[in-house]
């Protein structure tokens, strides 16, 4: 009996010591980071990544009521939506961003982005960016038409590239990689009259060779599904995002993800 009690007490002391040490671990990496980066703007910008906004019971589909609740939350918390151009200007030239910037993105270009998400975004005066699979637009009824894309662009949305056919770029030969990158960019320039075109990597797959090709194809920046916020340490061709999925408690997970990126980064857990 006595040995058991002693063992229990030991665990409590250990636990108390661990709790007392938490502030040290949280603040120590921040101090180092601050010293190295000096006055660089290290406020991480959150880039949210959605796919479908629909009632389909799959992780990639956030329901319209859940999406509305998340947008209401961002508005109440004082977030301001920004465009990829705003982010680029900040990254390249230090142009200031609004106090709580957020970049909302959608991958694939589903028709439900127009039917379900766009009205909610308009309600809050929010802008967003949609990475479309250019060969599917106006071809497959599950995806946007170019007409819908143009209407959303006129309403403040940015239409960007998710390549022509959504193949993982790291698995393509040189000629096909070039075609996927240049073809989708040309389609967006032609259909949208767009000048600065951005890319999101299909399936999130990229490597140094792909990044170089993306830059050579004339893209201004490229987004990954690497979890994290964008700051001065980010690469323009490997920009971090925070994926938002349908889960058991979609809203709690959404809030948790928004608020915990800075903590994770400070702890050095999610920057490579």
What does 163-204 look like in DSSP terms, one character per residue? -SS---GGGS-HHHHHHHHHHHHHHHHHHH--SS-EEE-GGG
Distance CA 74, CA 81 (A): 9
CB of 225 to Zn ion, least distance (A): 9
Number of residues located near Zn ion, criterion CB under 5 A: 2
* Positive or negative: CA dihedral 258, 243, 188, 74: negative
Among the listed residues 127, 113, 130, the one whose alpha carbon sits nearest the alpha carbon of residue 75:
127
DSSP-based three-state secondary structure for 61:
strand
* Cβ closest to Zn ion, residue 108 vs residue 180: 108
Among the listed residues 187, 109, 197, 119, the one whose alpha carbon sits nearest the alpha carbon of residue 155:
119
Distance CA 163, CA 200 (A): 8
* Cβ closest to Zn ion, residue 126 vs residue 131: 131
∠ Cα 111 113 117 (to 5°): 145
Encoded one letter per residue, x for contact with Zn ion by CB under 5 A and - for no contact, window 18-57 reads ----------------------------------------
Cα of 22 vs its chain's centroid, Å:
29
CB of 163 to Zn ion, least distance (A): 9
Q: Which of residues 179-198 bind Zn ion (CB under 5 A)?
A: none
CB of 75 to Zn ion, least distance (A): 27
CB of 134 to Zn ion, least distance (A): 12
* Site for Zn ion contains 265 (CB under 5 A): no
* Cβ closest to Zn ion, residue 44 vs residue 211: 211
Among the listed residues 267, 254, 262, the one whose alpha carbon sits nearest the alpha carbon of residue 228:
262
* Cβ closest to Zn ion, residue 107 vs residue 240: 107
* Cβ closest to Zn ion, residue 169 vs residue 192: 169
The DSSP H or E segment spanning 46 is: strand 46-50
Residues 6+ apart with CB under 8 A from 142: 110, 111, 136
CA count, 13 A, side-chain hemisphere, 242: 23
The 8-class DSSP code of residue 58 comes to: S
* The one among 66, 107, 112, 265 contacting Zn ion by CB under 5 A: 107
Choices 21-29, 101-109, 179-187, 191-199; region in contact with Zn ion by CB under 5 A = 101-109
CB of 204 to Zn ion, least distance (A): 8
Q: Which residue is nearest to Zn ion (CB)?
A: 107
* Cβ closest to Zn ion, residue 90 vs residue 158: 158
* Site for Zn ion contains 108 (CB under 5 A): yes
* Cβ closest to Zn ion, residue 66 vs residue 108: 108
Distance CA 219, CA 221 (A): 6
CB of 126 to Zn ion, least distance (A): 21
Choices 15-23, 52-60, 74-82, 102-110; region in contact with Zn ion by CB under 5 A = 102-110
Binding site for Zn ion (CB under 5 A): 107-108
């Amino acid at each position: 009996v006595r040995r058991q009690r002693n063992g229990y007490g030991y665990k409590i002391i250990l636990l108390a010591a661990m709790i007392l040490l938490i502030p040290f671990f949280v603040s120590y990496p921040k101090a180092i980071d601050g010293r190295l980066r000096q006055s660089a703007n290290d406020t991480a910008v959150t880039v949210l990544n959605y796919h479908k906004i629909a009632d389909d019971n799959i992780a990639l589909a956030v329901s319209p009521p859940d999406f509305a609740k998340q947008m209401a939350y961002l508005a109440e918390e004082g977030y301001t939506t920004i465009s990829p151009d705003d982010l680029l200007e900040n990254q390249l030239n230090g142009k200031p961003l609004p106090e709580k910037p957020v970049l909302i993105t959608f991958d694939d270009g589903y028709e439900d982005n127009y039917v379900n998400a766009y009205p909610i975004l308009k309600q809050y005066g929010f802008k967003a960016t949609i990475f479309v699979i250019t060969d599917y637009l106006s071809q497959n009824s599950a995806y946007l038409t170019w007409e819908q894309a143009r209407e959303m662009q006129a309403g403040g949305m940015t239409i960007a590239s998710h390549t022509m056919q959504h193949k993982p770029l790291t698995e393509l030969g040189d000629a096909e990689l070039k075609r996927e990158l240049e073809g989708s960019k040309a389609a967006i320039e032609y259909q949208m009259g767009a000048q600065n075109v951005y890319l999101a990597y299909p399936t999130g797959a990229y490597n140094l060779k792909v990044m170089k090709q993306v830059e050579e194809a004339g893209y201004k920046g490229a987004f990954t599904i690497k979890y994290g916020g964008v700051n001065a340490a980010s690469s323009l061709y490997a920009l971090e995002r925070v994926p938002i999925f349908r889960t058991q408690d979609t809203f709690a997970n959404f809030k948790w993800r928004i608020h915990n990126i800075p903590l994770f980064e400070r702890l050095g857990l999610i920057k490579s």
